[in-house]
Amino acid sequence: MSDYLKDNNYLDFLLKESNEKFQFIFHNTNDLVQILNSELKIEYINENAHLKALGYLKHDLIKFLSGDILHPNEKKDAQKFLKNLTEEGEAVREGRLRNKSGNWIWFSIKGRRILELSDELKYVILLREISKRKNAEQKLKESEERYSYITENANDLIEIINENFEFEYINEEVHKKLLGYSKKDLIGKKLLNFVHADDFLTTIKALKSGFKKGEAEAEIRFKHKDGSWYWLVIRGKTFQDINNKSKALLISRDETKRKKAEKDLKDTMKELKRSNADLEHFAYIASHDLQEPLRMVASFTQLLARRYNDQLDTEAHEFINFAVDGAKRMQHLINDLLSYSKVRTHGQPFMELDMDIILQEVLKDLKYSIEESNTMFMYDPLPKIMGDKLQISQVFQNLISNGIKFNDKEYPLIKISVESKKKKWIFSIRDNGIGIEPKYYDSIFKIFKRLHSRKEYPGTGIGLSICKKIIKRHGGEVWIESNLGKGSVFYFSIPKFRER
């Protein structure tokens, strides 16, 4: 056998083998393979793969290039693909084809011109399904769009920082609006450069522990572009970016107004407490120091009256009486003011008080005015409470003597009762006196507030405000129920258990 023949057989053999390989791949690959003739008409397809991916057999695919199967948005793309294929010999695109059930499936499409042995031009088209990747890409795009819509339209400041605490992303519009910064002012800069020196440590701690634990929150002052400070409450959450680097997403809210209101309130409270304490101190000193000179005025005026009794005419005696009366009234006022200012500062420690005994002692002290006014008393058995003896006696004394004083009946009646609640006792002092219009329920507890002239009913207008202060010190409340001409009931509550 000549070498030529040998070679020819060998070539046949190789050709056969390659053809078999091609047939095997052609029929078994999952990719869709199509062979087109020089007029771009389909000659062969691997039907199995086509059936599996699109549900079509060869004759269905005649429509393939006619367009029905192509996505309407990609027709131009498809034409360009064929142009490249015929002119350049190669073409690629990604596009959607409609399957038999009418759904669009994504493919990556590659085409190549080949030359058949017969010198005829043919084209091989390879289609690989990429729906999964495309869907994931589409989802990612949608979520990116949603995310950027939310961040750009949020009211909060949103930032991404890296592990060096440098800004990598900011929602620019919000930053411009709230803090005056644009992207170029912040991106690549360190967050700490914008933090108030006093909040430096808090910030570093929060950032470090945030990157360690995955979450953090801090309340810090951040510099506005104009140099002023804004209070931000920053919440952060870490995540790994595509290169596996740790990043933190920060969401911050401007709390400057709340912080300012909080500070103003604190300052006002402090100022109020201070001025109250000053006032109490002043009232105490003044009333204490005024007592002595006043006693001198009263007693020397009285001494004057006695010693020069014969030499003074009636008018002079009358003047002296006025002076003594004024001095006595002033003494009352000063005494009441002194007790008012002493409630908080000079109170005694609380001890167990038998309220029956306290009441009896108070009634004994008021014996003279009780007898003079013909007042009758009714009272329930009273409990034991924890309190300051002098102060609780004073409350009883003030309320009972008011019940006697503000009474126009021939036989004033006062009833003292108690009601047991779960956590407190409610004491009540009821009278059948002149009563009070409801519109004065609150104001009568204010210092110096009186509803009558001194001529009608003597008094200083301090008694009820002392009661209120004492009961408040004991953790209770005092209030009134009354109607004009129908008598009044004064209530005060005392907690059964004292909180320490």
Number of residues that bind ligand ADP (CB under 6 A): 22
The residue among 104 and 379 lying less far from ligand ADP, judged by its C-beta, is: 379
Name the minimum Å distance from CB 427 to ligand ADP.
14
Rg (CA), the chain: 50
**Of 149, 138, 338, 175, nearest in space to 252 by CA:** 175
Q: Which is nearer to ligand ADP, 70 or 337 (CB)?
A: 337
CB of 375 to ligand ADP, least distance (A): 12
Residue 461 CB, nearest distance to ligand ADP (Å)?
A: 4
Q: Nearest approach, Cβ of 428 to ligand ADP (angstroms)?
A: 12
Instruction: Return the residue nearest ligand ADP (CB atom).
Output: 459
Tokens of 291: 């007592």
Residues 281-300 that bind ligand ADP (CB under 6 A): none
H or E segment and range at residue 404: helix 389-405
The helix, strand and coil proportions of the chain, stated in percent and rounded to the nearest 5, come to 50, 25, 25
Minimum Å distance from CB 460 to ligand ADP?
5
Q: Which is nearer to ligand ADP, 387 or 403 (CB)?
A: 403
Beta strands in 54-140 (DSSP E): 90-98, 104-115, 121-129
CA dist 336 and 458 (Å) reads 13
Type and span of the H or E element at 352: strand 351-354
User: At its nearest, how many Å lie between ligand ADP and the CB of residue 232?
Assistant: 51
Which parts of 34-63 interact with ligand ADP (CB under 6 A)?
A: none
Q: Which of residues 340-399 bind ligand ADP (CB under 6 A)?
A: 398
Q: Sheet of 488-495: strands edge to edge?
A: 376-379, 413-420, 424-431, 488-495, 478-482
Minimum distance of ligand ADP from residue 467's CB (angstroms): 8
Q: Which of residues 391-410 bind ligand ADP (CB under 6 A)?
A: 398, 402-403, 406
Distance CA(129)–CA(97), nearest Å, equals 10
Nearer to ligand ADP, 247 or 405 (CB): 405
Phi-psi region of 104 (alpha: psi -120 to 50; beta: other; left: phi over 0): beta
Instruction: Locate all alpha helices (DSSP H) within 308-354, ordered by sequence.
Output: 314-345
CB of 455 to ligand ADP, least distance (A): 13
* Residue with smaller CB distance to ligand ADP, 35 or 451: 451
* Choice between 46 and 397, CB closer to ligand ADP: 397
Q: Where are the alpha helices (DSSP H) in 346-388?
A: 355-365, 367-373
The reply on whether position 412 binds ligand ADP by CB under 6 A is: no
Asked if 94 contacts 81 with a C-beta cutoff of 8 angstroms, the reply is no
Q: Which is nearer to ligand ADP, 188 or 485 (CB)?
A: 485
Q: Please say whether the beta carbons of 348 and 389 come within 8 A.
A: yes
Closer by beta carbon to ligand ADP, 383 or else 461: 461
**Angle, vertex CA 87, rays to CA 85 and CA 88, nearest 5:** 70
The only residue of 375, 397, 488, 493 in contact with ligand ADP, by rule CB under 6 A:
488
Question: Per-residue contact track with ligand ADP, 444 to 483, x per CB under 6 A?
Answer: x----xxxx------xxxxxxx------------------
Nearer to ligand ADP, 174 or 444 (CB): 444
349: left (phi over 0), alpha (psi -120 to 50) or beta: beta
What is residue 437's three-state secondary structure?
coil
Side-chain-facing half-sphere of 151: CA atoms under 13 Å: 17
What is the nearest approach in angstroms of ligand ADP to the Cβ of residue 476? 18
Footprint of ligand ADP on this chain (CB under 6 A)?
Answer: 398, 402-403, 406, 431, 433-436, 444, 449-452, 459-465, 488
